[in-house]
Amino acid sequence: MGFTGNTVATEIDAQRLRDWLADGDEIALIDVREGGAFARSHLLAAANVPLSQLETRVPLVLPRRHVRVILMDEDGSLSARAATLLHAHGYARLWRLAGGVPAWAAAGYELFSGTHVESKAFGEYIEHEHETPRVEPDDLCRWRTEGRDLLIVDARPLEEFRIVSIPGAVDCPGAELVLRVPGLLNSETTTVVVNCAGRTRSIIGCQSLIDAGLPNPVFALKNGTMGWQLAGLQPDSGRDLLAPEPSDPGLKVARTYAKNVAERFGVRFIDSQQLSTLQSDISRTTYLFDVRLPEAFVAGHRAGSTNAPGGQLVQATDVFAPVRGARVILIDRHLVQAVMTAHWLQQMNRYEVWVLTDGLEGPLETGSVPVPGLGEAALTAPGWTPEALHDALRSGNANAVDVGDSYGYRNGRIPGAFYAMRSKLSSALERFDHDQPVVFVCSDGRLSRFAAQDALALGFLEAGYLEGGRKAWQTQGHAVESCGMGEDPLLLTETDDMWYPPYARVTKVEEAMKQYITWEVDLLEQVEKEPYVSFGPIDPRSN
């Protein structure tokens, strides 16, 4: 993969790391194993940034190069290579967990399975503290049959909603609920049911509407679409219905709700001048997140901001902001999504949180402007257009190797494209001649640039990458194919780059759903064993 040299990071033992997690200073624990290994067993406070994705993800999640970073893996081999790479790009405060993840367990400390564990445990905490109302799938089915005045809203991103949804539901991602739901209601007696795939986002979504003061009866669907299927009920798939933005009257109501939440929970606000002061403080990490939906961000956003839709930010804090103790500044247009997101992040007690009052005033950038990857300017592998790759594949004059997420590959790969995890690229490419053109592919063309450079370093004479990735391929009208979730002759390595959700499994799907739900419910008890995690208070103004 192009990572060489000896580590430049000092080793730290489990006890000292445990102490550091409780000392109040900024800290980032980065597990550099692939996503599958991470999901099987990891430290609660760790964020998964695989070595194979380090160049593209680190500039986003570790924007301050003097932040305290602890790297870890299974045996030290990957963390040493990660430390060398990060040090070469200016990261100056690097440590490695001595003995890796097994040493943490050997010291008697907890290891966790799954993904986004702290955020999911927070959802269970909120349900426990608030006794958030919930409805059984059978009862919701009966309400629909009876013709009850009912609004079912799915709090997940639209791409997840398309895969599986509750019949009659409309998609409304988490932070959008308070903005969009009031304008969808027939009256104050309309029953609102919030669902997700499992539990967390439905609980947080339901409680968001309750916290906002919505007078309607609001329920979380118990165990989401998984609970619906386990009850023997048929879900929908392939639907594409996003709740519309509110009209002026609906927006006025939504802003009133958000203002009440801000006052009740003590949400803090700053303006652009104050933001500049925070950003000039190089002793602290400052994340600047635009919490609107991606299409709104692309249409116009503040320079220097990153898109982190609010519902997903709360659901996956480890993905967006792994620096514990960092400052988080939130942007939206109406001070609704940002306020609702802020009031949850405050209760998680991981960050200092503010809402930017004038975040979208003045000149705005359009499009999706990626942060340059580490060493990206030095890459020499050429880009290929979708048309050029299409013609080369048809004529047999090139091979395509997808190094992106395996789930995306399985469900929409370029016909004939091979798959390989970048972390095992050296062995995966042994089947190809070095004088044969190889074009690397990922979802958007960023990671594949680095893979192409790896291939050049391995001696391939013609290695390039697909500009714009699979997205550009499909935008240009080229076909994709699905290979399902089983074995496939085009898989050059295992697909251990990620955790596969229950609905993506090939066999024992119901068993996987039951295990997942049980895992979520049991999380809070396990997380409570970690003294550096302390959720709440749920309502600061109630004290």
129 and 253: one domain? yes
Q: What is the pLDDT of residue 106?
A: 98
Mean pLDDT over each residue of the chain, to the nearest integer: 95
Query: 334-368, pLDDT tens digit by residue?
Result: 999 999 999 999 999 999 999 999 999 999 999 98
In a domain, 496, yes or no: no
Residue where one domain finishes, among candidates 234, 259, 284: 259
Q: Are residues 150 and 96 in the same domain?
A: no
The answer to whether 285 touches 323, Cβ cutoff 8 Å, is yes
- Residues 248, 284, single domain; the answer is no
Domain assignment present for residue 482? The answer is no
Check whether residue 223 and residue 244 sit in a common domain. Answer: yes
Domain extent, residue 265, equals 261-356
Domain co-membership, 141 together with 250: yes
pLDDT digits (tens, 9 = 90+) for 74-88: 999 999 999 999 999
The verdict on residue 344 lying in a domain is yes
Mean pLDDT in residue range 390-394: 97
Question: Would you say residue 283 lies in a domain?
Answer: yes
3-state secondary structure of 100: helix
Checking if the pLDDT of 240 tops 70, the result is yes
Residue 517, in any domain of the structure: no
Whether residue 427 is contained in a domain is answered as yes
Within-domain flag for 25: yes
Q: Give dist(CA 525, CA 128) in Å, integer.
A: 11
For the domain that residue 87 is a member of, what is the CATH number? Answer: 3.40.250.10
462-495 as b/e, with b when 16 or more CB fall inside 10 Å?
A: bbbbbbbbbbbbeeeebeeeebebeeeebbbbeb
Same domain membership, residue 274 and residue 190: no
Condensed to tens digits (0 to 9), the pLDDT of residues 433-462 reads 999 999 999 999 999 999 999 999 999 999
233 with 329, same domain: the answer is: no
Q: And the tokens for 215?
A: 């007078």
Q: What is the pLDDT of residue 2?
A: 42
Question: What per-residue confidence (pLDDT) applies to 370?
Answer: 85
Same domain, 295 and 350: yes
Residue 512 belongs to a domain: no
* DSSP code at position 48: E
Q: Are residues 126 and 254 in the same domain?
A: yes
Domain end, chosen from 53, 81, 113, is at: 113
- Convert 111-140 to b/e letters by CB count within 10 Å (16 or more is b): ebebbbbbbbbbbbbbbeeeebebbebeeb
Categorize the per-residue pLDDT at 539 as very low, low, confident or very high, splitting at 50, 70 and 90: low
Averaged pLDDT, 142-153: 98
Residue 487 has what pLDDT?
Answer: 80
- Provide the token pair at 401: 């190797």
pLDDT surpassing 70 at residue 541:
no
**Domain endpoint, select from 113, 129, 164:** 113
Total of domains in the chain: 4
Same domain? For 85 and 188 the reply is: no
Residues 217 and 255 in one domain: yes
Q: Which two structure tokens, joined as six digits, stand for 487?
A: 């074995």
Name the band, by pLDDT with cuts 50, 70 and 90, for residue 507: confident
Digit-coded pLDDT (tens) for 17-48: 999 999 999 999 999 999 999 999 999 999 99
**Rounded CA gap, 419 and 518, in Å?**
33
pLDDT of residue 182: 97
Is residue 250 located within the same domain as residue 126? yes
- Per DSSP bridges, beta strands 28-31 and 46-48 are parallel
Specify the pLDDT at position 421: 97
